[in-house]
Amino acid sequence: MIRFEGVTKRYDSGQEALSDVSFELESGEMAFLTGHSGAGKSTLLKLIMLMERATSGEVWIDNQNLAKLSKRHIPLLRRKMGVVHQNHQLLFDRSVYDNVALPLIVAGYHPRDIGRRVRGALDKVKLLHKEKMNPQMLSGGEQQRIGIARAVVNKPPFLLADEPTGNLDPALSAEIMQLFKEFNQVGVTVLVATHDLALIARMHHRSLILRDGSLIGNGATKLAPNNDANMDDN
Amino acid sequence: MIRFEGVTKRYDSGQEALSDVSFELESGEMAFLTGHSGAGKSTLLKLIMLMERATSGEVWIDNQNLAKLSKRHIPLLRRKMGVVHQNHQLLFDRSVYDNVALPLIVAGYHPRDIGRRVRGALDKVKLLHKEKMNPQMLSGGEQQRIGIARAVVNKPPFLLADEPTGNLDPALSAEIMQLFKEFNQVGVTVLVATHDLALIARMHHRSLILRDGSLIGNGATKLAPNNDANMDDN
Amino acid sequence: MFKSTKTNRRTGENRSDSGQAINTSSHSLASRIQSWRSHHRLVAKQSIQRLLVTPVSSLMTILVLAIAITLPAALNIVITNVAQLTGQTNDHVQMSLYLQKGLSDTQGIKLANQIADWDNVTSTRYVSPQEAKDSFKSMDGFAEIIDNLPENPLPGVVIVIISEQSLSVNDAEMLRERAAALQKVAIAKIDLAWLQKLHAIIGLAQQVAAVLTALLAVGVVLVVGNTIKLAIDSRREEIIVTKLIGATNAFVRRPFLYMGLWFGIGGALIALILINACKYALTNAIESLSLVYGTDISLAGLGFTNSMTLVLMGAMLGWLGAWLAASQHIRALEPR
Amino acid sequence: MFKSTKTNRRTGENRSDSGQAINTSSHSLASRIQSWRSHHRLVAKQSIQRLLVTPVSSLMTILVLAIAITLPAALNIVITNVAQLTGQTNDHVQMSLYLQKGLSDTQGIKLANQIADWDNVTSTRYVSPQEAKDSFKSMDGFAEIIDNLPENPLPGVVIVIISEQSLSVNDAEMLRERAAALQKVAIAKIDLAWLQKLHAIIGLAQQVAAVLTALLAVGVVLVVGNTIKLAIDSRREEIIVTKLIGATNAFVRRPFLYMGLWFGIGGALIALILINACKYALTNAIESLSLVYGTDISLAGLGFTNSMTLVLMGAMLGWLGAWLAASQHIRALEPR
Ligand SMILES: Nc1ncnc2c1ncn2[C@@H]1O[C@H](COP(=O)(O)OP(=O)(O)OP(=O)(O)O)[C@@H](O)[C@H]1O
Ligand SMILES: Nc1ncnc2c1ncn2[C@@H]1O[C@H](COP(=O)(O)OP(=O)(O)OP(=O)(O)O)[C@@H](O)[C@H]1O
Ligand SMILES: [Mg+2]
Ligand SMILES: [Mg+2]
């Protein structure tokens, strides 16, 4: 469960990236986050994974108030979240395999389990054949998919994705979204920030719309003509 | 003028990123480059700016065969090209202003000219008010626009853009494309790699379509129902 | 809010099921300890490999450390040796009684035995004129001159060893006067001032050495700390990404702590080599001195226990430097 | 191919117009030179600022360089001084004639004057027994003994300075035999072996110093090179991006060359301080020696010209190290 209660985020520069944002995402729900460039999407996601802290208001994850979470517990929070970063955040000093294995090593998985899981995740993004390459040798879209594989490799209960399909062609974007949907179907809470309105329209999920830091939309996407089971009362 | 004659690019890993690609872009022409993730778009652009060299075939820029260009002359070639990189390639150890000023400093412009040009370029991407910030403090889309400002700041005769709108919302994407079009109208040769098929459709320009390294389309985009002056015979 | 919530709750349970599945499959205590251990081994190995990738800069740091460790260690050894060299005068004050010319060796020995019974006197030794001449002859350049002399110009000497413990400077002076008053004694010399000076110097040197040791220990910590800081800077991205993925500070810090450890141990080992090389060179130099002084001096080196202590200290200081740098700089490297 | 080509050609001309406009507006030669100069000034300043941002590691490198520069410089100074100390015996061989006991000073002086006229003899000096005794007395510990002697046991000595140039070992031996045959002379001593040994040692030391100088010059280049390599590594991204934007290798290399220059100059300056500190300490030590030897020795230091040369050498080596590292590593950093 992810809950924002009147959250405002003002950066040191004075920039107010989020203004009084409130919403709740139930466990196992899937939603989109959209809005213009600089609207505050990445900031909202950063607050959830404690890359930034709210200036005022409260962020709750699984009935835990993040403001009250001690520094010591941040790593445990982050291990619950698979995150696809807008700028990939891959390490170019090691192979694709090692990049994807990182969350497992950090969490102290046994070496015996790691290989199986990493290959499974790489297979899902169709990049198993590139496991030995350096991410720098991959195309922009391939790098993005490595980031997705790393986010899902330890099957976290939360999945946050920031513009995960910005460098992907429409067909691949749809496949990746399908992948997220499958994760959601086994209970993972999914929140995806994206500009791809057409994709949102096709997916029939709830969407949060930001404008200049304020939440101006919170419900099924207006672009969606037909709603699925999840959305049928909107 | 950009001309590819039977260009094949095989990376050291054995991956053939481009296979026998031939096309010609006249001076002052504007075109799109599209294709699935990993099709070879970035590779094609890298060959033009000599980040990579063709395995076979010839790349000609302004009647200059790049294979015959000595290392010493590469910098001069690059100064003729404004490039928007897929991964921004911004420097996080200096301000937005200094990032945009870099091409001017490198080319030995007089300090007196630099300020005026940098502010002009930042104004075009609507980020003049962020000139003193560190690019790291900007949103993904804002970073992308800084990259665009840097590419155009020294008014180069060539403009190459790799997925310049991947992190921008549809409205902003259209504006940026309009900007590229304006550059094209004053004579700049523009080549834009993008996945945004809708955008391509709206722009009515020639488009090169890659699939698995081969050029499978070379003409006005099939998605465009009405052609403008440049394309009226296709 | 949404009817869908119900559906989500159900799948939410699914989620926690799969979550538990993860926990049980790979987070049992035994398995965790095992992977923790193998991770330590791996990190220890990798951090050595990393040092070997940049051999010149690693060597540079280790050399600086070695010099910083060698300096106080060598100084301490010199002080120990000097104190040992002056060992007899350290525990005892020595008085020289130059006898009147013409006294026979028997008379000299008798006098020596007589004085040995005095209060505060530990022992006495008679040096005959011939012995004195011989020891002079062994000094370079004097042989010819002394051989050339018509007769041995040197007097017999009684060396009186006085126990220092019970002795004030006044007592010593009184003892000297008593000896000087003896008929057979021409001159009685007791070099208290020199002795006091030497003791003061050794004391000062020991203080200087202590201060220097402390300073250079701080220096070692600083040098390791700085090197680790540079290593952290150069692995900034890796640290940030690893933290983003849920690495604890301890996990991120680990390779740097090992690196500091290796630096400290490496510096101490090279310092040991340097110290022993210095000792070897000094021993040669002192051997000639020994001949002149007539005593047989063997230089006290470090010995096994002290060597081990030195390495241990190096390791600890290296680790400390790394720890300080790592805690400070890694905490500052929060992902943004 | 396309009809549009024509349209493009037209705009293409526009392009080249605007291209020319760029060229004329800011690429006139005078303006280029001016901005090139101001860029050099800026880069020189920025590279110093960069060194000051990481003072500990900069200082560490500079100290290592200073030590590497000090060692050969100090060794060369020691050799120069030793050679100067033995200056008279370097150009001349000295023979000592120990006279028979009982000769008067007048006789001694006469003999000295007589021998001064011999072939191959540069000059002579008569040392009376009293002078010899006085010089012995100034040596620590001897005063008492000598005062205690019934009569001065030392003979008069004639010191004969022989011009070495024209002198083979055989000639010297013949000269000694001629002097020894004189009635008034008890012993004639000529220390040719020692002289030859000393010369050999100085020669060897000079060779060692030359090799050491060369080795440590290479060391300086390596240390600077390595430091510059690390600096390049830590600015990898900046270099790649700047190259992508059309920077020449010279442009990218410039800040690193300045950095190497500052390192070299800094190391040489610290070395100068170290050398002068050593000289000061040595002068004090040698002053006491001078008293004993009876000659007045002033240590030859570096002097202004040599100091400047040292700084220049440091600057050149630093620049060279930086240049080697920069050319090698910056060429390898091609954007991908
Ligand atoms: N560290 C920071 N310091 C100061 N301002 C920041 C910082 N990070 C983001 N901002 C500002 O906050 C605003 C919101 O940024 P955010 O990254 O959340 O936007 P976004 O919705 O993700 O945009 P995009 O779609 O372009 O990625 C922007 O105006 C940005 O300039
Ligand atoms: N340096 C490299 N070494 C080896 N293979 C590479 C290298 N760079 C790219 N490739 C491979 O070449 C192919 C084409 O890559 P390229 O970056 O040109 O694709 P792209 O069309 O730009 O894709 P995207 O839309 O995902 O950015 C990919 O399969 C990629 O893995
Ligand atoms: Mg964003
Ligand atoms: Mg690409």
A19 Cβ closer than 6 Å to some ligand 1 atom: no
Of B31 and C134, the structure prediction assigns the larger pLDDT to: B31
Q: How far apart are CA B56 and CA B54, in angstroms?
A: 5
A13 Cβ closer than 6 Å to some ligand 1 atom: yes
**pLDDT tens per residue across span D192-220:** 665 666 666 677 778 878 888 888 888 88
Asked if B110 and D36 come within 8 Å (Cβ–Cβ), the reply is no
Q: How many CB atoms lie within 10 A of CB C106?
A: 9
Whether pLDDT at D143 is above 80: no
How many Å lie between the centroid of ligand 1 and the Cα of residue B168? 13
Instruction: Give the chain A residue whose CA is nearest to the CA of C40.
Output: A108
The pLDDT value given to residue B167: 85
**pLDDT tens per residue across span D169-192:** 677 778 888 888 888 888 887 766
H or E element at residue D157: strand D157-163
The sheet that has B56-61: what strands, in order across it?
A: B16-25, B2-10, B56-61, B64-65
Asked if B27 and D14 come within 8 Å (Cβ–Cβ), the reply is no
How many Å lie between the centroid of ligand 2 and the Cα of residue B213? 10
Q: Count how many Cα atoms sit within 13 Å of the Cα of residue B7 in the half-sphere of its side chain.
A: 30
Q: How far apart are CA B183 and CA B169, in angstroms?
A: 21
Asked if B233 and D4 come within 8 Å (Cβ–Cβ), the reply is yes
Pairing of strands D121-127, C185-190: unpaired
Whether pLDDT at B201 is above 80: yes
How many Å lie between the centroid of ligand 3 and the Cα of residue C232? 27
ipTM for this model: 0.76
The listed CATH number (3.40.1160.10, 3.30.70.3040, 3.90.650.10, 3.40.50.300) that belongs to domain C92-163:
3.30.70.3040
Q: Does A63 touch chain C (CB under 8 A)?
A: no
Q: Lowest mean pLDDT: which of A155-169, C120-134, C230-244, D5-19?
A: D5-19
Asked if C237 and A91 come within 8 Å (Cβ–Cβ), the reply is yes
Shortest Cα distance from B46 to chain D (angstroms)? 8
C contacts of A229 (beta carbons < 8 Å): 4, 7
Q: How far apart are CA B183 and CA B158, in angstroms?
A: 10
Name the one residue in this structure whose structure tokens are 């310092």: C271
Residues on B contacting A at a C-beta cutoff of 8 Å: 11, 13, 15, 34-38, 41-43, 86-88, 133, 137-142, 144-145, 162-163, 166-172, 195, 197-198
How many Å lie between the centroid of ligand 3 and the Cα of residue C125? 94
Shortest Cα distance from A70 to chain C (angstroms)? 12
Residue of minimum CA distance from atom 25 in ligand 2: B37
The pLDDT value given to residue C240: 92
B43 Cβ closer than 6 Å to some ligand 2 atom: yes
Asked if B29 and D38 come within 8 Å (Cβ–Cβ), the reply is no
Residue of minimum CA distance from atom 7 in ligand 2: A137
Residues on A contacting B at a C-beta cutoff of 8 Å: 11, 13, 15, 34-38, 41-43, 86-88, 133, 137-142, 144-145, 162-163, 166-172, 195, 197-198
Report helix, strand or coil for A87. Answer: coil
The pLDDT value given to residue D212: 80
Q: Report yes or no: B144 and A170 within 8 Å, Cβ to Cβ.
A: no
B63 Cβ closer than 6 Å to some ligand 2 atom: no
Q: Which numbered ligand comes closest to the C-alpha of A194?
A: 1
Share of chain B above pLDDT 90, in %: 71
- Residue A233 CB-density burial (10 A; 0-12 exposed, 13-18 middle, 19+ buried): exposed
H or E element at residue B171: helix B170-185
Packing angle of the helix pair D236-244, B96-106 (nearest 10 deg) = 60
Ligand 1 pocket mutation, candidates B92, B142, B143, criterion most atoms within 8 A of CB: B142
DSSP tag of B229:
G
Query: Mean pLDDT in chain B?
Result: 89
Q: Tell me how far CA of residue A152 lies from CA of A108, A174, C248, in angstroms.
A: 16, 17, 20
**pLDDT tens per residue across span C40-97:** 898 999 999 989 988 877 888 898 888 888 888 887 887 777 666 655 444 556 788 8
The pLDDT value given to residue C2: 38
Q: What backbone phi and psi angles, to 5 degrees, belong to A64?
A: -115, 125
How many Å lie between the centroid of ligand 3 and the Cα of residue A99? 22
Q: How many CB atoms lie within 10 A of CB C250?
A: 11
Suggest the residue from B62, B102, B146, B221 to mutate for an interface test with chain D (most D CBs closer than 10 A). Answer: B102
Amino acid at A136: Q
Q: Does A115 touch chain C (CB under 8 A)?
A: no
A41 Cβ closer than 6 Å to some ligand 1 atom: yes
Shortest Cα distance from D163 to chain C (angstroms)? 23
The pLDDT value given to residue D185: 86
Q: How many CB atoms lie within 10 A of CB C181?
A: 9
Shortest Cα distance from B182 to chain A (angstroms)? 22
Query: Mean pLDDT in chain D?
Result: 77
Provide the pLDDT confidence category of residue C145 given band limits of 50, 70 and 90. low
Instruction: Ligand 1, residue B169: give the atom nearest the CA.
Output: 25
Q: How far apart are CA B28 and CA D246, in angstroms?
A: 21
Q: Tell me how far CA of residue D276 lies from CA of A177, D17, D34, D327, in angstroms.
A: 74, 65, 42, 36
Provide the pLDDT confidence category of residue D129 given band limits of 50, 70 and 90. confident
Closest C-alpha to C68, from D64, A91, B191, A73: D64
Among the partner-chain residues B76, B85, B91, the one whose CB lies closest to the CB of D238 is B91
Q: How far apart are CA A221 and CA A233, in angstroms?
A: 13
Name the one residue in this structure whose structure tokens are 């213009």: A36
How many Å lie between the centroid of ligand 3 and the Cα of residue A42? 4
Sign for the CA dihedral angle at A223, A225, A229, A234 comes to positive
Among the partner-chain residues B11, B36, B145, the one whose CB lies closest to the CB of A169 is B36
Mean pLDDT by 10 residues, chain A (234 residues): 95 93 94 92 94 94 92 92 91 94 91 91 93 92 93 94 89 90 93 88 88 86 40 37
Whether pLDDT at D6 is above 50: no
Chains C, D: CB contacts under 8 A, how many?
66
**In the structure encoding, which two tokens stand for residue C2, read together?**
């949404």
Residue of minimum CA distance from atom 26 in ligand 1: B141
Q: How far apart are CA C320 and CA C254, in angstroms?
A: 13
**pLDDT tens per residue across span B71-109:** 889 999 999 999 999 888 999 999 999 999 999 999 888
Residue of minimum CA distance from atom 27 in ligand 1: B140
DSSP tag of D104:
-
**pLDDT tens per residue across span D270-288:** 999 988 887 777 676 666 5
Q: How many CB atoms lie within 10 A of CB C214?
A: 11
Four-CA torsion D184, D185, D186, D188, nearest 10 degrees:
180
**pLDDT tens per residue across span B1-52:** 999 999 999 999 899 999 999 999 999 999 999 999 899 999 999 999 999 9
Shortest Cα distance from D55 to chain C (angstroms)? 10
A167 Cβ closer than 6 Å to some ligand 2 atom: yes
Asked if B28 and D16 come within 8 Å (Cβ–Cβ), the reply is no
Provide the pLDDT confidence category of residue B208 given band limits of 50, 70 and 90. very high
Domain ranges of chain C: 38-87+198-332, 92-163
Shortest Cα distance from A170 to chain B (angstroms)? 7
B137 Cβ closer than 6 Å to some ligand 1 atom: yes
DSSP tag of A61:
E
Q: How far apart are CA D278 and CA C29, in angstroms?
A: 62
Q: How far apart are CA A31 and CA A234, in angstroms?
A: 14
Instruction: Ligand 2, residue A144: give the atom nearest the CA.
Output: 26
